[in-house]
């Protein structure tokens, strides 16, 4: 317990004095976001920027060809992909596709934890995006958007990164993963919110990162929080069965899922696997 308290105290002090080292948004994402905010940017210029990063270019083409956009004709170039996605959405999608780059470490043990965290993030995001895809098919005039849920779901777990980095300087933490998990549980949402602010994301994303696991906040109408939490239910991040049942029942009432067993159907699983394929 002393070890956990030591890490917890260190993290709290660094947060208090704004000394916690936060991960930086990948440079390519910064360039895309800056270009997207330029009223004079065009599809050709945006395609050129994205094309300079092979990993992002591949990710954007995957998104353009994915089930979430529902197009049968495949695109093969970045220019075609950007045209299909559109400048309005490319800012969030490109940022989301670049997020994986921050889940890396030169330390083998930290890298292992970061990979585990990234896989968990992708799992939750794939559920959220899949459900949003189905929801928008039935609610075409909804204000909710796929690009927002894609970015929101992929940043919801960012708060683990500074905790893992700090733990790297205290190797004894890794002797008992339970201590590390408790620190993540207590602090990751708060730290994640600080990262979204440092990255210049809107307050909407800060709210989603800070409150996704706080079940005292239960929106009456369909909300991005619902889709992220559905991903958490699917991947058993909420451990209490009655909590999971209550959430699923509320999603049926809101029209987010047709019934509580929807995420067990072949229809959902096929969409989930297709979406998950975008991140591998």
62 in any annotated domain: no
Residue 213 CA to residue 208 CA, distance in Å, equals 9
What are residue 219's phi and psi, to 5 degrees?
A: -60, 145
pLDDT value at 3 more than 60 = no
Is residue 54 included in any domain, yes or no? no
d(CA 160, CA 181): 9
Q: pLDDT, tens digit, for every residue of 206-257?
A: 999 999 999 999 999 999 999 999 999 999 999 999 999 999 999 999 999 9
* Average pLDDT value over all residues in the chain: 90
pLDDT per residue as tens digits for the range 26-77: 999 999 999 999 999 999 999 999 999 999 999 999 999 887 776 778 899 9
CA distance 162 to 198: 13
Inside any domain, residue 76: no
Find the farthest-apart pair of alpha carbons in the chain and give their distance in angstroms, rounded.
59
| 258 found inside a domain | yes
CATH number of the domain that residue 180 is part of: 1.10.3210.10
Q: Do residues 126 and 184 touch, judged by C-beta distance below 8 A?
A: no
CB 157 within 8 A of CB 192: yes
Q: Measured in Å, how far apart are the chain's first and last C-alpha atoms? A: 38
pTM: 0.91
Confidence of residue 2 (pLDDT cuts 50, 70, 90): low
Range of the domain at 229: 2-23+103-279
Residue 243 is assigned to a structural domain of this protein:
yes
Rounded Cα gap, residues 269 and 247, in angstroms: 20
User: 264: Cβ–Cβ under 8 A, 6 or more apart, which residues?
Assistant: none
Please name the helix (run of DSSP H) or strand (run of DSSP E) that holds residue 104, with its range, or none: none
171: tokens are 């190797």
Q: How far apart are CA 280 and CA 262, in angstroms?
A: 25
- Residue 36 forms part of a structural domain: no
Domain count, the chain: 1
Whether 89 is in a domain gets the answer no
pLDDT mean over 171-188: 79
How would residue 107 be classed by pLDDT, with cut points 50, 70 and 90? Answer: confident
Domain for residue 188, yes or no? yes
Q: Which pLDDT score is estimated for 250?
A: 98
% pLDDT > 90, the chain: 71
Mean pLDDT, to the nearest integer, of 13-26? 84
What confidence score (pLDDT) does residue 60 get? 93
Residue 152 and residue 155: Cα distance in Å, rounded?
A: 5
């Amino acid at each position: 317990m002393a070890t956990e308290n030591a890490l917890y105290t260190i993290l709290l002090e660094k947060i208090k004095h704004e000394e916690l080292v936060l991960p930086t948004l990948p440079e390519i994402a910064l360039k895309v976001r800056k270009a997207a905010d330029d009223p004079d940017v065009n599809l050709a210029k945006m395609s050129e920027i994205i094309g300079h990063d092979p990993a992002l270019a591949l990710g954007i083409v995957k998104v353009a060809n994915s089930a979430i956009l529902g197009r049968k004709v495949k695109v093969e170039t970045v220019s075609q992909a950007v045209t299909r996605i559109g400048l309005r959405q490319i800012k969030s999608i490109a940022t989301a596709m670049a997020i994986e780059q921050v889940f890396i470490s030169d330390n083998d043990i930290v890298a292992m934890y970061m990979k585990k965290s990234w896989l968990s993030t992708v799992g939750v995001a794939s559920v959220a995006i899949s459900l949003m895809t189905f929801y928008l098919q039935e609610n075409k005039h909804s204000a909710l958007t796929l690009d927002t849920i894609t970015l929101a779901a992929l940043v919801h777990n960012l708060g683990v990164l500074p905790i893992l980095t700090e733990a790297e300087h205290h190797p004894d933490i890794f002797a008992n993963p339970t201590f590390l998990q408790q620190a993540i549980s207590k602090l990751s949402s708060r730290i994640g919110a600080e990262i979204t602010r440092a990255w210049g994301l809107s307050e909407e994303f800060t709210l989603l990162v800070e409150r996704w696991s706080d079940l005292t906040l239960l929106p009456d109408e369909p909300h991005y929080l619902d889709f992220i939490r559905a991903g958490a239910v699917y991947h058993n991040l909420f451990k209490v069965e009655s909590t999971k049942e209550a959430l699923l029942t509320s999603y049926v009432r809101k029209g987010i899922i047709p019934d509580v067993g929807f995420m067990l159907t072949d229809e959902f699983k096929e969409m989930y696997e297709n979406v998950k394929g975008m991140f591998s």
